[in-house]
Structure 1
Amino acid sequence: MSTISKNSEQSDTQSHIQQQEDGSRIVRGIISRAKGEPVELTDIVVPAPGAHDVIVEIQACGVCHTDLAYRNGDIEDAYPFLLGHEAAGKVIEIGDAVSHVEVGDFVVLNWRAVCGECRACKRGEPKYCFNTHNASKKMTLSDGTELTPALGIGAFCDATIVHEGQCTKVNPEADPAVAGLLGCGVMAGLGAAIHTADIKRGESIAVIGLGGVGMAAIAGAKLAGATTIIAIDIADDKLERAKEFGATHTINSKDLANGETGDNDPVVQKVREITDGFGADAVVDAVGIPATYEQAFYARDLAGRVVLVGVPAPKRELKLPLLDVFGRGGSLKSSWYGDCLPEHDFPMLVNLQLQGRLPLEKFVTERIELDGVEEAFKTMAGGNVLRSVVVL
């Protein structure tokens, strides 16, 4: 066992972390070896940190649809992947040049470690940073095969290596299983309402699709002060659950479907009925298919905002009358990571949850072991969970 330096501490809670003489660590991790194949629990090697790298002992990590997309080859083909990215944990070692965090800090991991130097950052829009930082070293299998970490994080493991900018310190009183969900889906939905849609007090909003992201958009709209919050989905149980997050009205789009589109779509007409005939000030599409986007486009008021946060499949195409795009005005936006700035948003939202003003804890449907990820993917497909969370 190597000597523990002032930049590291020995874990007393994770017997699965084995430190080696060269400063690396052997930990358990969930990997995807090939497209569509079941994931595998195996040993991985976490290297000693580079100058700006940080080793984080993972305490909890949510199972996100993006992880399933990696496993299924829908994002890239750089197998094997180390899955997991919605994570929170404790810093246990830092590189020599790290100044952003210290050993012992409780952090939520993020995939927007802004560079401060790209054209987006220099024009004062770091939320669009085009050159975010990642760890300088790769994690590997025990035979030396390099792993591709999901969203540059890779957190279905006992410990991971990230760039210091990927670590956001938050209140250590927070439950890791709750705080970690800000790392991706929940932040995407909250931010779609708060930042991208820019909901103001007294405004109306409709949210189409009530998975974890859509439900978070409902919660974000309530937090921002919307007074009319319309939840739209095809499942009655999700519509009922949306009321817990702040929905004031619900629409079952499956029950209304009659083949009509555009202004005549019954979902569009129902939204207008709820909003005094005008349409919502903003509509969030958390599904990401042409049919739901078209509903979002027509269900908004004149000069209203459409926000696409549901990630479309690569070959999806959208067709809208250009005259309607011009005539209805307003804005058509995409929301990347909820247009968030982790260093500002994560601590604020965690504190709001601890104060009882934001029900982030309601997103945790079940807590599972590390070897339960594959089963969690199957549960996800059934649509009965907001988030399964791996607790280590």
Structure 2
Amino acid sequence: MATHTESVQPDPYTPDGLAQLLADEPAYRRDQVAEWLAKGIDDPAEMTNLSKDLRARLAEQMPARPRVLKVSESDGGLTRKVLLECGTAGAAEAVESVLMLYPATGDRSARAGSTARAGRATVCISTQAGCAMGCPFCATGQAGFRRQLTVGETVRQVTVMQRLLAGSDGAGELGSAGLPDGVPDYVTNVVFMGMGEPLANLDVTLEAVRWLHGPFGLSARSITVSTIGLVPGIVKLAELDLPITLAISLHAPDDDLRDDLVPANRQHPLAEVFGAARHYLQSTGRRVSFEYVMIDGVNTTLEQAASLRQLLATHMPSGSAHVNLIPMNPTPAVPWTAPSISDQRAFARVLDDGGISTTIRANRGNDIDAACGQLYANYQMASGRMLPAAVGAADRIAQR
């Protein structure tokens, strides 16, 4: 299967692409176009401070805006999954991104120490069409890898959501529900946790982070990049010299189990992953987050919780790590489920008692397949078959 990257058109979301598009124009034109793009205006016809001739030329030369194929809403409108078609004929792919809204809580004018929290609008974006990592509990990973996304295709997922929040989506193609009270009308956070492994599309991920922090204007601390532990990519991410959040997916407290749950562990075992995490901590001063999908009967015994606690205590300085426990999201083609709530809490207590900051993530968007590991599930799972990778991993684990 071809895995080419689209396209021959210059990508205006990269410095080189923008320079190529405007090679014959005064330098200030680059700033003008970049400013429009950062506002979410990616149709040259709407760039009103450009000449009519330049707008017409850019309309021919710039990649087309991603086409919205479908919008699904969940959680009373707080979670919205958008299916986008990126690319042109011969390279068009359907990719998914998710908007998660968190209304403000408490009295923001209250004195220091209050529990008030500002509203957030977080966009979870994809970096690849499909995924090649093959984690057996993840529906996205079983859909297969089709191609890399470009920088423009990656960051335009954010600007699509920006249009939704600003109410500037024209015919209302991005969903019918209005914004709940206490939710900002602009994107506040971006997480690279959608389809694909961000550090397997490394150059695009790095350039997208630069664009989001630069022209788009997000604080580096509002950007999170998630990885299953591709060590060379973590090192490159540290070289950005930006305090973005690094989230590493562990999912197991030992190499034997992680080899089955995260096949990339065979190339980058836990000791190597933790070495890269410490390097990132030292380079950026940022606490590292560790993701841990909780799979009943696989990785959630109290003994495994103790092993995870010891693993983190051995490899990470005190207070430098946070664990996000993620209850397994149900997927028809995967023979696993989340443990009971009481078992989840018991697992978390073992970590908390060891002084490790721990949260149990509240799943969002389960009913529209927008939760962690579910993206693109509908398209590959309709047959009702169990995924071979999931069955094989389950058999190996059961035989231990």
TM-score (norm 2): 0.31
Structure with the bigger percentage of helix: 2
